[in-house]
Structure 1
Amino acid sequence: MSSLPVVGAAMTLDELELHRDWLFDKQRDLELQDFVTADVLDGDWMPLVERAKTLLDGHQGRLGIHGPFWGFTIASPDPDIRAVVAKRMKQGLDICAALGATQMVAHSPYTTWSYNNLDNNEGERERTVEYVHLTMRDAVRQAEDIGAVIVLENIEDIDQHARVALAESFGSPAVAVSIDTGHAHYAYGSTGAPPVDYYVKAAGERLQHIHLQDADGYADRHWSLGEGNILWHSVFAALSGVRSNPRLIIEIKDKSKIPASAHYLESLGLAQ
């Protein structure tokens, strides 16, 4: 039996129907992405949950969802905006509970602008953490209660350590770190961030989730693995020292290429 790590994927329920055999052949981890828009969150999402349960009958991999993120930051200074975001986080975790999902992806609050200005305005770094706590405190308690983990994904992050420190500031096993390889590679190529493997090393044992996508360092491509220029050997070398068993989730635009992405990693001797 191969000792290579087994990759999973992010997809919608429609895409799950197409890739169900691939998912089940190695009981791969799955991230469902049907629950990110306001119309779904504010509507009757139970039929989607029931459809997922039917499709996943017999699935033994780990299940998570991408949480809400469109149109907001988790570090808003406006209390009314924070209330809306807190509502969205609760809705996402309610769905996790209904699905039996144990992980929800949330987006980092750190931007390209903030990297250059957090230390320009006195107390801004601390205020950002405070705003996130005010927004997320109820969600973190809810995640603890249902046995789920909120993982903070890098978006524009240049400082690979700030998000890790933010996760640690909650002092809770229900908050951990996610890395999106394409986002990190964009930041490396376009905004002076370190390369992807540095993000992995910085996250260390806080790392519980990775979006695997290829890119060119210029934009958020979400290309199939092997179509960009990420140095995958360095990424997986850094991962080899991580014992937290993060979910390795292929997240690409062309979902028909999910199996090909896994085959590409297998051809490099990195994953299966």
Structure 2
Amino acid sequence: DIQWAREQMEERGIGCSVHLPFYDLDLSAFRHDLRMAAVHSVIKSVEVAAELGAGTVTVHGGSMKRNYYSAEWEETAEELSLDSLARINRECKERGMKLLIENLNLFSDRVHRVHALPAKLLETKAKLGDNIGFTLDIAHAVSTPLNPVEYALALGPENIKLAHLNDDNLKADQHLGLGLGRIDYRSFMKAYLGEKWDFPLLFETKTVEYALTSKAYLEKLIKEIEIKKI
């Protein structure tokens, strides 16, 4: 029940951010009917997020199968993604919510992700306006030539409104608990604390157990960093 969930969050002082659906949906689909169906599905979730009292919603901008890949097709996919995001952004603005575009990963050999690199994300924000922010997925960032700190700085920390934390082996998008993979979270947290970045950190792991592992790992890491500062 949406109203019950909203009341529970308000009673406990818990904020709400919603990840919009993406499985089997492609906002850059070449077929107009499929793309509009995806946009409609995402907008329905925007409406639910507004009822929950969410201040932000996270979206995946789209992808393209590599057997279609060429510079021409890439440009087409980006234009279609931009149109879809503009439609969704209008709905978000009407409801007082910020639309956060998530950086996608480059791990897959089969799919080209439209928004995997900072330059493309910033270009999209410039075209769609100030209601656009970013969700920084740390494990997606490591699939690019940049490390997480470099990626955050390239996006502009002021543009990042949420971060997804999970771990992987640097070769696949595994959504492991922090400390169970090879991502250098110590360097990221040093920058986060040292530069006083203020975007929320959210564990996005495959299991609740991984989330609890991540919480313990991050608390220990923060304590170690703060002790060294003293």
TM-score range, shorter chain: 0.7 to 0.9
Equivalent-residue separation in structure 2 for 1:214 and 1:112 (angstroms): 25
Same amino acid, percent of matched pairs? 22
Give the secondary structure class of the aligned counterpart of 1:65.
strand
With the length of structure 1 as denominator, give the TM-score of the two structures: 0.69
Q: Residue 110 of structure 2 aligns with which residue?
A: none
- 1:201-257 CA distance string (max 9 Å, x none): 121122111110011112222111111111112223443577773221111122134
Q: Which runs of 5+ in 1 are unaligned?
A: 1-46
Q: CA–CA distance in 1 between the matches of 2:77 and 2:198?
A: 29
Post-superposition offset of 1:159: 2.9
One-letter code aligned to 1:196: P
Give, as a single letter, the amino acid of the residue that structure 2 aligns with 1:180: D
Q: Counterpart amino acid of 1:200?
A: A
- Alignment partners' CA distance in 2, 1:109 and 1:254: 25
Match of 1:18 in 2: none
1:128 aligns with 2:77: yes
Residue matched to 1:81: 34
> Partner residue of 1:62?
15
Shift of 1:139: 1.5
The reply on whether 1:159 has 2:108 as its aligned counterpart is: no
Query: Of residues 165, 188, 197 in structure 1, which corresponds to 2:149?
Result: 197
The residue matched to 2:176 in structure 1 has which SS? coil
- Cα deviation, 1:25-78, whole Å, max 9, x if unaligned, reads xxxxxxxxxxxxxxxxxxxxxx2x134124324232321111010112211222
Q: Which amino acid aligns with 1:174?
A: N
Measure how far apart 1:100 and its partner are. 0.7
Aligned residue type for 2:199: P
In structure 1, the residue matched to 2:3 is 50
Q: Pick closer, same or farther for the CA change 1:62–1:156 going to 2, 3 Å.
A: same
- Consecutive unaligned residues in structure 2, runs of 5 or more: 107-115
Asked if the contact 1:206–1:244 (Cα under 8 Å) also holds between the matched residues in 2, the reply is no
User: Residue in 1 aligned with 2:51?
Assistant: 98
> What's the Cα RMSD here?
2.8
- How many residue pairs get aligned? The number is 215
User: Take 1:242 and 1:87, find their aligned partners in 2: how far apart are those partners?
Assistant: 39
- Which residue in the other structure is 1:42 paired with? none
Deviation at residue 108 of structure 1 after TM alignment: 3.3
Partner residue of 1:247 out of 200, 206, 210: 200
C-alpha deviations, 1:127-176, integer Å up to 9, x for none?
A: 333212321222211111111112111222453322232233211x3221
The aligned amino acid for 2:148 is: V
Asked if the contact 1:65–1:104 (Cα under 8 Å) also holds between the matched residues in 2, the reply is yes
Residue 103 and residue 223 in structure 1: after superposition, are their counterparts in 2 closer, same or farther (change >3 A)?
A: same
Going from structure 1 to structure 2, the CA distance change for 1:199 and 1:92 (only over 3 Å counts) comes to same
Structure 1 letter corresponding to 2:147? P
Paired residue type of 1:250:
F
CA distance in 2, matches of 1:129, 1:56: 37
Higher relative contact order (CA 8 A, sep 6+): 1
1:139 equivalent to 2:139? Answer no
Deviates more, 1:145-154 or 1:193-202: 193-202
Q: 1:168 aligns with which of 120, 126, 135?
A: 126
